[in-house]
Structure 1
Amino acid sequence: MFSAMPPELTDRTIDFLWDRQPDLRACSLVCRQWLPSSRRHLFESTTVRPDARFLPFLSSVVTKYARTLDFRLWPPEMDPLGPEILHHMPMVLNLRNVVLGSLPPSPENFPVLSRVVKLSLQHTEFPSCAELVESLAKFPALRELELAWVTCVDVGHNVWPRFPSGLEYLSIQGFAQTPGILQWLSSDDYPRTRALALHIPNDAPDPALLSTVSKFLRCLDGHLQYLGLAMYPSPNLQSSLAVLDLGGLSNVQRLRIGHGIYFHPPTTHRTSGMCRTFRSVLTTALGLASNNQLAELIFDVEISPDMWSFSSDSFFKGLLRDHTVAQIPVVRLHVLRGSHSYDAAARHCRQFAVYMGERGYVGRNILYSADEGK
């Protein structure tokens, strides 16, 4: 029966199981025809383990199917097989995304990965800015760069990397603890990126650090097309935003605001959902929208297990009916996946859309979407 079914149909069916590991493993055992499609999803994202058991797996499967390699579990002391594993990395034909964290291999030992377009550096300390720059040079085709709590022991004065066509996307998290990265943003070699995501910390960072980020934003004005702001409600938020001076931007086409809307789905069929908004976060969106000809305004909607004692209906209604917001072609309310499965995120998205519709939050420019997590 399986052999008579066209392979295009079985491949398409297996594609729907991309986030269900047990089902994919079961499909891989059905027949030889189902094996490649199942493996493509099973090993699309692979954690690199420098031990003897991983090496044959790397040679036979990972080099053929992996698109993402995650080095975050690399041990403090490299296994003797580490150099051999790194030697195989350029052979991963479909590799497009690399994640490094905690303690990446020395740039001297790390191979040049010419196909990688996205790099994520997380919780990583480099001996010097020179080693950080050397590490970035290992990815000549880089278009997306995520920096999360990346530090340099010796900041020094170094020439920072230039990307020939500029970065398509740059994300900075924990910038208050990264003087080396801030030096890059304030140098003549600052990254010219069309899309930027900033994570505004809860604590009160040094105003001088925020001022550096503000100057970087002004340098990008006229070139920056997408701005994402993950802002957490805190007593320090207003002062941080004042130093950043985001109102100076004038050419952003897509604006994404996170952590300003919390939706609490109904716990039973008898209880209705509730929504809480944080005005200091959403008011920032209004201020930026008024200075830009936005094509799309995106509000990230968080799903929280806690139930609030009140909602923010009146403020939310005023926000979505604001004259500035009404003129934006697309206002997207995007339900984040978080720790939920895609099916759960999609279900919460539908519940949120019903909740909004019941309260009259409708409009031709209001769309709903769920985070697919892929």
Structure 2
Amino acid sequence: MPTFPTELTDEIIAWIPVVCDRFSEMYRALLSCSLVCSAWLPASRHHLFREIHIDRSARYDLLVSRVLHSEKMRINLLSVRTVTIMHPGSPALNCRPFVLEFAGHLPNVTLMHFLYGGVEVFLSHPRSFVAISRFSSIQKLMINTDEFPSFGALRRTLTLLPSLADLTLWRPSWPDPPADLSPHLSHGASIVPRPALLSVNVRWGTDAPDRRRAQQFIAWLSETATSSSLLDLQATIDSTPGHQIGCMATFGLSLFRFGRVLRRLEIDVGESRDLPGQSISSSVFSHP
């Protein structure tokens, strides 16, 4: 029976993540390929492990028992590039010490994505912060609609990731800051070299607590090394119909501190009274 060269089938399998629009579709296709024959298994596994989604306790437990604790399967963790953690309606995931168990075992992960409770899983163990720095290859962190136990927990997470360059924060929250924020919110951040971000994309709402969180975060970040390293800044507000609160009122004057080497700035500069909820975006480009 004639067979195709391994190089050809490996190349075909490598295109599956490119052409599949959804993760579930890609996963099923790669899983089917892995079952065709032993020659297709290595390439299929490599791409199956490039992206890991943890959304329930059963999936997490299988990953630990059948991969992390297996000498034969653990090598596949070297293929992981993206980890997504979410647990809508699955509070049991909070008991899983992800950071402690996987620290040092995901050396090639470049993107970490938390949404709908993923941060709680990531920081659930009291000693999580001790091991965060061992995720030294993470370059991009995305946090979507998630809650931190404190603003300090967010600060420590960002400063302990040594390679972090790209940050997306969409409606993160933590206990409501005081209404009268101190103008000095760095907590010593100006004397530490991290984070030194290249790209920041932040989105908050326009209610009073969200504005205070946005201003607290931007004021702190502006006093870190990011103030002299940031190239791309996007600041967006989720305004509700009838509210005319702009970007500067939401994020505060600390936005001006990022102008040293900034090449791209995109902010909401106004809202249309005729089209509630829509805004005009202003982009400023500069070239060295």
Q: Would the alpha carbon gap of residues 205 and 127 (structure 1) be closer, same or farther in structure 2, given more than 3 Å must change? A: farther
Contact 1:202 1:237 in 2 (8 A): no
What is aligned with 1:195?
232
Unpaired segments of 5 or more residues in structure 2? 21-25, 179-184
* Matching of residue 174 in structure 1 with residue 208 in structure 2: no
Contact 2:113 2:141 in 1 (8 A): yes
Q: How big is the shift at 1:212? A: 6.1
Unpaired segments of 5 or more residues in structure 1? 241-258, 260-279, 296-374
> What's the TM-score once normalised by structure 2's chain length?
0.69
Task: Give distance in 2, aligned partners of 1:38 and 1:10.
Answer: 10
Correspondences of 1:211-230 after superposition (within 5 Å): 211=249, 213=251, 215-228=253-266
What is aligned with 1:12?
11
State the structure with bigger RCO (CA 8 A, min sep 6), 1 or 2: 2
* Matching of residue 159 in structure 1 with residue 187 in structure 2: yes
Correspondences of 1:3-152 after superposition (within 5 Å): 5-18=4-17, 19=20, 20-48=26-54, 49-51=56-58, 52-59=61-68, 60=73, 63-73=77-87, 75-78=90-93, 80=95, 82-83=96-97, 86-103=100-117, 104=120, 105-106=123-124, 108-110=126-128, 111-112=131-132, 113-152=135-174
SS of 1:152's equivalent? coil
Aligned-pair identity (%): 22
Task: Give distance in 1, aligned partners of 2:157 and 2:274.
Answer: 34
More helix by percentage: 2
Q: Give the letter for the 2:259 counterpart.
A: D
Q: How big is the shift at 1:78? A: 4.2
**Greater Rg, structure 1 or structure 2?**
1
Q: Would the alpha carbon gap of residues 154 and 229 (structure 1) be closer, same or farther in structure 2, given more than 3 Å must change? A: closer
RMSD: 3.6
- Work out the number of aligned pairs and report it: 247
Q: How big is the shift at 1:199? A: 2.4
> What's the TM-score once normalised by structure 1's chain length?
0.55
Q: Would the alpha carbon gap of residues 212 and 230 (structure 1) be closer, same or farther in structure 2, given more than 3 Å must change? A: closer
1:74-133 deviation line (CA, Å, top 9, x unaligned):
7334465x1277412430132111122333234733232111111112222223211221
Task: Give distance in 1, aligned partners of 2:239 and 2:83.
Answer: 31
Q: Would the alpha carbon gap of residues 216 and 144 (structure 1) be closer, same or farther in structure 2, given more than 3 Å must change? A: same
Task: Give distance in 2, aligned partners of 1:107 and 1:178.
Answer: 29
